[in-house]
Amino acid sequence: MELLTTNNVWMMICTALVFFMHTGFAFLEIGLTRQKNTINILFKNIFIITVGLLLYTFIGFNLMYPNWSTNSIGFMGDFIFGLSAPLKNGTLDLDYNTGYTFWTEFLFQGMFAATAATIVSGAVAERMKIGPFMTFTILYVGLVYPIVGSWKWGGGFLDKLSTPFYDFAGSTLVHSVGGWAALVAVCLLGARIGKFKNGKIQAIPGHNLPIATAGVLILWLGWFGFNGGSVLSADPELTSLTLVTTCLAAAAGGVFAAITSTILFKNLDLTMFLNGILGGLVGITAGADQMSPTDAILIGGIAGILIVFAVSLIDKLKLDDPVGAIAVHLVCGVWGTLAVGIFGNLAGWSQFLSQLLGIACYAAFCLISSFLIIFTLKKTIGIRVDEKEELEGLDAHEHGMDAYPDFRLNEH
């Protein structure tokens, strides 16, 4: 009982840290976008976490963690409405898990569920209608995320491979699931007005880089819960190693992104530095428990370099991602998943092939499902605000509010 209590307390602390990450996501997104859209972004982020938790309660948890039959291929879980805690003699079964109780598992995993839609929020910022975004969030968080999550974390077919697909804390299951949807959304939505003029890329600066920086530091702190909690116990050695690899990858990602950006563009770009940190965090997430400190630095450093080239490529393809969500969560999510088969305790050809297969399965399902949702919304109710609303700001037109009523900037 004492061990269960210790493990459970650690898991609840990690749950709180993952919850706090939503503050970081909100700060980062509003900091890297314009003042006139601040209320819109905050509304989306609050909607995602509140509705996401309710959806995970009534549908998502049972879909993601079903009781597969022995002969089941493990592709889709159970459509059972609501939560039902395991009981023993009429009380909560404390032998449910050696590391934590049923309720702690539900809440910890529920915090993860909303993150995928938060990633999409940043990519579509400043020009997507709030209604269609809310509809997308309900369908993607309520159905798509728990279905694909069950393939690995719920004991589905990717976990049953002869060499099981491995994703410790979600480089693929969380980050690239959001990243693939972000890519589809950006393609269908189009660029913000003024982003590309006469074939040239025009910078649209964010209005508050101090807030964005605070957001990244909050996310880094939250990642100690994101990865540390994925140990699923308070095991001192494994938890400590996971926190060390997480921290070193973040540091290496930031430094290598800053160096690469400075060499290529001849300026010390803070936003590249910040996204490099996030790229390092996403990159280490798939194998944080399997890597040595040196492995973590290499994985994070490569992620930081990839960030710079990915952001540049996305711009050249005329795709508009205001916060770099695709580069951070999709590109570095894929890299981190492959890195499991290259570095650490699981390195090997068979593991690398399993990682490739897993990436391909998640890419196909998420691309198709997100396209069907967003394309249907586009053809029925429309997904983009009109030109006047975009130029004057979504805060005024979609919310009738101003985030800074006593301090307005003349924005265009």
Token representation of residue 181: 């949807």
Instruction: Write out the two tokens for 59.
Output: 């549908």
What pLDDT is recorded for position 405? 84
The residues with which 200 forms a beta bridge, in sequence order, are 197
Q: Are 178 and 120 in contact (CB under 8 A)?
A: yes
Mean pLDDT value across residues 340-350: 95
Least Cα distance to 121 among 199, 186, 210 occurs for 186
DSSP state letters, 238-264: HHHHHHHHHHHHHHHHHHHHHHHHHHH
Cβ atoms of 329 and 176 within 8 Å: the answer is: yes
For residue 70, name the pLDDT band (cuts at 50, 70, 90).
Answer: low
The alpha carbon of 187 is separated from its chain's Cα centroid by a whole number of angstroms, namely: 19
Helix (H, G, I), strand (E, B) or coil at 140: helix
Q: Reduced to 3 states, what is the DSSP secondary structure of residue 384?
A: strand
CB atoms within 10 A of CB 368: 13
pLDDT tens across 208-222, in order?
999 999 999 999 999
**397-405 average pLDDT score:** 91
> Is the Cβ–Cβ distance between 141 and 161 less than 8 Å?
no
Q: Note whether 352 and 342 are within 8 A (CB).
A: yes
The pLDDT assigned to 406 comes to 72
Query: What CA–CA distances, in Å, run from 86 to 95, 96, 104, 341?
Result: 9, 7, 13, 36
CA distance 113 to 49: 9
Neighbour count for residue 19 (Cβ, 10 Å): 18
Straight-line distance from the first to the last Cα atom of the chain, in angstroms, rounded to the nearest whole number: 61
pLDDT tens track for 114-160: 888 899 999 999 999 999 999 999 999 999 999 999 999 999 999 99
CB environment 323-359: b (16+ within 10 A), e (fewer) = bbbbbbbbbbbbbbbbbbbbbbebbeeebbebbeebb
Confidence of residue 408 (pLDDT cuts 50, 70, 90): low
Measured CA to CA, the distance from residue 281 to residue 297 in angstroms comes to 11
Residue 241 to residue 214: CA distance in whole angstroms: 25
The highest-level CATH class for domain 2-399 is mainly alpha
pLDDT in tens, 73-111: 777 766 677 777 666 666 666 556 667 888 888 999 999
pTM here is: 0.94
Domain chopping of the chain, boundaries? 2-399
pLDDT for 116 equals 81
Which amino acid does the sequence have at 335? W
What does pLDDT average to over the chain? 92
pLDDT at res. 309: 98
Tokens at 243, concatenated: 């926190």
| Region 386-393 average pLDDT | 95
The whole-number pLDDT of residue 1 equals: 57
Sign of the Cα torsion 124, 125, 126, 132 reads positive
Average pLDDT (199-204) is: 89
31-41 pLDDT, tens digit each: 999 999 999 99
What pairing do the DSSP bridges indicate for beta strands 87-88 and 196-197? unpaired
Per-residue pLDDT averaged across 282-305, rounded? 98
Q: State residue 94's pLDDT score.
A: 59
* Cβ neighbours of 320 (radius 10 Å): 23
| pLDDT tens-digit series, residues 13-50 | 999 999 999 999 999 999 999 999 999 999 999 999 99
Tokens linked to 252? 């290496």
pLDDT given for residue 98 in this prediction: 65
3-class DSSP assignment, residue 85: coil
Hey, what are 186's tokens? 């950006």
Cβ(133)–Cβ(124) below 8 Å: yes
**Pick from 76, 68, 41, 306: which is nearest to 171 by CA?**
306
SS3 383: coil
Average pLDDT estimate for 318-345: 97
| Res. 68: pLDDT tops 80 | no
CA distance 217 to 248: 14
Per-residue model confidence (pLDDT) at position 90: 61
